Structure 1
Amino acid sequence: MVGSAPTASQAAAHEALFGDALACDEVRPAAFLTGSTSGARLRVDAANGEALLRALAIVEDGLRSEEPEPGSDNTMHRLEAKLDLLTSLVAGLVPAQDTLALLPLRWSARGACLRVDTPVPAGSVGTLRVQPVDWLPSTLVLPVRVLACELVDGLWQLWLRFDSLPPALEAALERHLFRIHRRAIAETRRR
């Protein structure tokens, strides 16, 4: 928000989404799409999003000590996760997927903030599509509600609250954002 002081609605939306939550600032392939989605579609998107984030966690970090199942082999879990991601990648190549634009994105497990070309009224519902990692073109599709929309430096800044995420998906998203945050700190220390 360079060049202008935040308005009351911007400050309230920012506090609601990022107040005491871990938030990450990234440039990610992302898009906001307006319109409501059916309950069945929301459940499918939530299940796919949770599976994607869990597989990414296993591939990137391996199983943590609090996650192993009795008698399980971490190597087997990692291999299964890699196969799940490969299957997702191949499935995504069959239908031509929309190309997402690279956008500056601030997000937490509560919601996201990004800038778009056209205004969207507060209270509108839609979905946030975001590619969570660079090396896999799979996307998360998250239901959102617009908390605020204001013109900032020639673009419309949207504050989007995640709407009715299942607890397991919210927890997986929180862990994903924590890994991003941890990598950013490690990168800073290496400099």
Structure 2
Amino acid sequence: MNATRDECLSDGVVVTPGVGLLWHDDPLDPAACYDHNLTTFLLLDSLLDAPTGSESGERDNEAFQALEAKLDLLIQLVTRLLGQQQPLPPEQTVRLAASGIEWQSPTPLPPLGWLELFLEPRLPRALKLPVENRQDELEPGVWRICSRFAFLEEEIRAHLEKWVFRRHRREIAHQRQGRS
């Protein structure tokens, strides 16, 4: 089934991050997937929301600062350990919205499956998202895949929308910095 670029991700904000991506066509347990994705978003939020010293108003409480430093170190060690156990797939630029993702594959794919998306290189833990695929061949050996996220729980979809919106804000801020 063909998918034009305009209809692939037509609803909402679209960002173009570099992400690690792995395709699977084996069955996915929805309950385990929900818990895994929720934990992954909580970890992503903790990485993205961690204030620096200047952002936090240079807190006076030394005990709080010491505890925060220990937690930061623990997060770094755990993510390094995870990265050693499962190396990240190569990063590729994609078009990502809360409704789906557009990416390229060297081969055509079945209509149903799931993706592992590694959204943050500092966190070697992927989201596991069931998808429905549409595709068209751009040139020999290059297929444009439009994967629509299917059967996502509302809470997971809300976290994904939040991540996409934050990423969009960062892309705009980066563009503005480049112009000034």
Q: Rate the CA distance shift 1:171–1:88 in 2: closer, same or farther, 3 A.
A: farther
Match of 1:190 in 2: 177
How many residues align? The count is 164
Query: Pick from 124, 127, 136: which aligns with 1:150?
Result: 136
Match of 1:177 in 2: 164
Q: Which runs of 5+ in 2 are unaligned?
A: 53-63
**What's the CA shift string for 1:44-73, capped at 9, x where partnerless?**
322223323332342279xxxxxxxxxxxx
Which aligned pairs between 1:17-166 and structure 2 lie closer than 5 A? 17-59=8-50, 79=68, 82=72, 85-86=75-76, 88-90=78-80, 92-93=82-83, 96-122=85-111, 124-125=112-113, 127-146=114-133, 148-154=134-140, 155-166=142-153
Q: Rate the CA distance shift 1:171–1:40 in 2: closer, same or farther, 3 A.
A: closer
Q: CA RMSD in A?
A: 3.0
Work out whether residues 30 and 130 of structure 1, in 8 Å CA contact, stay in contact via their aligned partners in 2.
yes
How far apart, CA to CA, are the structure 1 residues paired with 2:44 and 2:156?
Answer: 8
Amino acid at match of 1:190: Q
44-53 or 99-108, larger mean C-alpha shift: 44-53
Query: Pick from 4, 7, 10: which aligns with 2:3?
Result: 10
Work out whether residues 53 and 172 of structure 1, in 8 Å CA contact, stay in contact via their aligned partners in 2.
no
SS at 1:32 equivalent: strand
Amino acid at match of 2:79: L
How far apart, CA to CA, are the structure 2 residues paired with 1:117 and 1:150?
Answer: 11
Structure 1 position 89, deviation (Å) = 1.0
Structure 1 position 21, deviation (Å) = 0.8
**What's the CA shift string for 1:68-121, capped at 9, x where partnerless?**
xxxxxxx79x94984784465155146x21431222211111111111122113
Work out whether residues 145 and 161 of structure 1, in 8 Å CA contact, stay in contact via their aligned partners in 2.
yes
Q: Rate the CA distance shift 1:111–1:163 in 2: closer, same or farther, 3 A.
A: same
SS at 1:21 equivalent: coil
Structure 1 position 43, deviation (Å) = 2.6
Q: Rate the CA distance shift 1:53–1:166 in 2: closer, same or farther, 3 A.
A: farther
